[in-house]
C-alpha cells in the first residue's frame, strides 16, 4: 500500500518541473537573411490572403535588421505565406514557409517573390 502512495507523491512533485521545462522553449523566431531591414512582417495561412498582425511590432525598435531574429507570436505551427515590407515601401511575398514549434525559420533575398514598390 505504501509503494503506490510514494510513487504518486514522486509523480506529483516531478510534474511541475516537466511543465516548466516545456514552457521554457524559445518560441518561433524569424531570422532575417535578406540584405535589407524589414519594417513589416505578416503571416497568412498558405495560399490565402488573410494577413495577421505586423510581427515587427514585437521588436524593440519595430524593425528587423539583416541577421537579426524576431520572435513570432500568436502563430501555430503550419505552412504560411509571408508579406514582407521594407522602409522603402517595397513589399514582397514569401510563399509556403514551414513553421515548426520552438524553431527558427529564415527568409533570404532568393525567397522574395511578387515584389512591388
Specify the DSSP element, H or E, that contains 104: strand 104-108
Can you give the pLDDT at residue 26?
Answer: 87
Domains of the chain: 25-116 (2.60.40.2890)
DSSP string, 32-88: EESSS-BSEEEEEETT-------GGGGSTTS-B-TT-EEEE-S--SEEEEEEEE-TT
Q: Residue 90: which pLDDT band, with cuts at 50, 70 and 90?
A: very high
User: What integer pLDDT is reported at residue 25 of this predicted model?
Assistant: 81
Q: What is the pLDDT of residues 40-54, one digit of tens each?
A: 999 999 999 999 999
- Sequence-distant (6+) residues with CB within 8 A of 77 are 28, 99, 100, 101
Q: What is the pLDDT of residue 29?
A: 98
100-115: buried (b, 16+ CB within 10 Å) or exposed (e) per residue?
eeeeebebeeebbeee
The pLDDT tens digits for 1-31 are 566 555 455 544 544 444 434 446 889 999 9
Query: Looking at residue 20, what is its pLDDT?
Result: 39
At 59-84, the pLDDT tens digits run: 999 999 999 999 999 999 999 999 99
- Would you state the cell numbers that stand for residue 65, as one nine-digit string? 535588421
Q: pTM here?
A: 0.78
Amino acid at each position: 500500500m505504501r509503494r503506490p502512495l510514494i510513487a504518486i507523491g514522486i509523480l506529483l512533485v516531478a510534474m511541475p518541473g516537466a511543465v516548466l521545462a516545456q514552457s521554457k522553449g524559445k518560441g518561433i523566431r524569424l531570422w532575417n537573411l535578406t540584405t535589407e531591414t524589414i519594417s513589416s512582417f505578416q503571416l497568412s495561412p498558405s495560399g490565402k490572403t488573410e494577413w495577421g498582425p505586423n510581427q515587427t511590432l514585437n521588436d524593440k525598435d519595430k524593425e528587423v535588421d539583416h541577421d537579426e531574429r524576431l520572435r513570432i507570436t500568436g502563430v501555430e505551427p503550419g505552412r504560411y505565406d509571408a508579406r514582407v515590407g521594407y522602409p522603402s515601401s517595397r513589399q514582397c511575398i514569401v510563399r509556403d514557409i514551414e513553421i515548426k514549434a520552438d524553431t527558427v525559420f529564415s527568409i533570404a533575398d532568393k525567397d522574395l517573390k511578387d515584389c512591388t514598390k
